A and B are shown apart, each in its own frame.
Chain A
């Protein structure tokens, strides 16, 4: 038998899957930013794990989560807690999230390892070449570095996980 709490929890996850990072066209669940959802009656407690602790998008996402979950019938309060107990790693990103970022034009490290130079190198999202070069470890956001594709001559944004 499905209890009311289970139904509400399912509904909460469904809504979370439709909230995107304001800086990337990917759901926050596919980025692995949500660690836990606790439902107690009409009270919802969401535990969030940021990629970079100083990411300015965190505030926007917390507010989005509060508003969107608050609009679910039966929800009374929504708390969104930032947790640093477990660090965010590439393993938290789903394969779907990786694919979406890549299609959007952001090169993404493998979900395991997550270092900047894996055995396969940094893949160009435009032509697929791995003949690429690091231009700048810093980019337009904290989670992006800049590479250059030596084959198709395009600059590339590379998802940069926090240092291990």
Chain B
């Protein structure tokens, strides 16, 4: 059964809220996948080069499946959703649009993001919308390899040298508050309660994610930034972004824009 046929999704406001929610997840996957792909040819060793390329391919593939679900609800074409929108229409969290920076930042972001994604997919997988729950369960089990990889590297960097530790700590100071914003509500979030889209609400999800991440970080002597944040994190779920997203889209969509509608 397609999502469009689910009776609980008939009210337009419920449908709009679900579209916004799925678009947030799909955009996160596409943008983080694109960032990972920028390591192809530049990673510190050939194993990492293959790993990041493979993880990039998988995240972008997951994004495509999610855009297909959005297209079922909103109409339109999954490719146009991925390549045909401007930065204001993107709903990804700003964490994923940040440039890769050094290896330490990329690994720290990957580790925080993949663990958050796993918690979020668990919530969808336990929900009442069967077509979405089935898909989420599939994506969730595929994330396992990414999580193992990111966590192994994070532990390695945190324990290697003073230099690598300080880079990972600096990355965490920036990435932690932005990773929390992965769980920010989308427009109309409350509308998703009645049809039981999520088995766990975002406020509880963020707590679960912290409960998973904190023991890993403290185990390797990293500390989570405490106290008031220096600057508020732009709300990507409502279309607020940094200048980095526009630059990323400019490059990522250049081929598609050169010949819209071309078949490859």
Residues of A within 8 A of B (CB): 52-56, 83-85, 87, 135-140, 142, 146, 162-164
Q: Is B156 an interface residue (CB 8 A)?
A: no
Interface residues of B in 137-170 (CB under 8 A from A): 137-139, 141-142, 144-145, 148-149
B102 sits at the interface (CB 8 A): no
Query: By the criterion CB–CB under 8 Å, are A56 and B57 in contact?
Result: yes
Interface size class of B (residues with CB under 8 A): 20 to 34
Whole-angstrom CA separation of A84 from B124 in the bound complex: 14
Q: Which residues of A contact B241 (CB under 8 A)?
A: none
Q: In the bound complex, how far is the Cα of B153 from the Cα of A137, in angstroms?
A: 13
Chain A's nearest CB lies how many Å from the CB of B109?
Answer: 18
Task: Indicate whether A137 sits within 8 Å of B57 (C-beta atoms), given known contacts A53-B142, A54-B65, A54-B142.
Answer: no
- 8 nearest CB pairs, A to B: A54-B61, A163-B144, A138-B54, A138-B51, A84-B134, A84-B138, A136-B47, A54-B58
Question: Does B60 belong to the interface (CB within 8 Å)?
Answer: yes
Instruction: Say whether A138 contacts B138, CB under 8 Å.
Output: no
Contact between chains at B142 and A163 (CB < 8 Å): yes
Cβ-neighbour of B50 out of A52, A87, A138 (below 8 A): A138
Task: List 8 A-B pairs, Cβ < 8 Å.
Answer: A54-B59, A84-B138, A137-B51, A137-B145, A138-B55, A139-B54, A142-B57, A164-B141
Q: Which residues of B contact A56 (CB under 8 A)?
A: 57, 61
B residues in contact (CB < 8 Å) with A: 47, 50-51, 53-55, 57-62, 64-65, 130, 134-135, 137-139, 141-142, 144-145, 148-149
**Chain B residues with CB under 8 A of A138:** 47, 50-51, 53-55, 145, 149
Residues of B within 8 A of A163 (CB): 141-142, 144-145
Q: In the complex, what residue of chain A is closest to B45 when comparing beta carbons?
A: A136
Distance from B228 Cβ to chain A, minimum over Cβ atoms (Å): 39
Provided the pairs A53-B139, A54-B142, A163-B141 are in contact, do residues A137 and B148 lie with their beta carbons within 8 angstroms? yes
Known: A138-B149, A163-B141. A85 touches B57 (CB 8 A): no
- Bound: A140/B141 CA distance, A: 20
Query: How long is the Cα–Cα vector from A43 to B18 in the complex, in angstroms?
Result: 33
Chain A residues near B59 (CB, 8 Å)? 54
In the complex, what residues of A have CB within 8 A of residue B55's CB? 138
Complex formed: what's the CA distance from A136 to B54 in Å? 11
Contact across chains for A162 and B47 when beta carbons are under 8 A apart? no
Contacts of B149 in A (CB 8 A): 137-138
Closest to B53 in A: A138
Quick one: which of A53, A135, A136 contacts B138, CB cutoff 8 A?
A53
Tell me, in angstroms, the Cα distance from A146 to B45 when the chains sit together: 15
Whether B51 lies near A136 (C-beta < 8 A) is yes
**A46 to chain B: closest CB distance in Å?**
17
In the assembled complex, the Cα of A54 lies from the Cα of B29 at a distance in Å of 12
CA distance A52 to B55 in the complex (A): 12
Closest residue on chain B to residue A163 by CB atoms:
B144
B57 smallest CB distance to A (angstroms): 6
State the Cβ distance, A149 to closest chain B Cβ, in Å.
Answer: 17
Q: Given A84-B137, A87-B141, A162-B141, decide whether A54 and B50 contact each other with a Cβ distance below 8 A.
A: no
B148 touches A52 (CB 8 A): no
Q: Please, how many angstroms separate the alpha-carbon atoms of A140 and B58 in the complex?
A: 12
Knowing A54-B60, A135-B47, the reply to whether A142 touches B141 (Cβ < 8 A) is: no
* Residue among B50, B64, B144 facing the most chain A CB atoms (10 A cut-off): B50
Q: Complex: how many Å from CA A38 to CA B145?
A: 35
Q: Which of A56, A135, A138, A164 has the most CB of B within 10 A?
A: A138
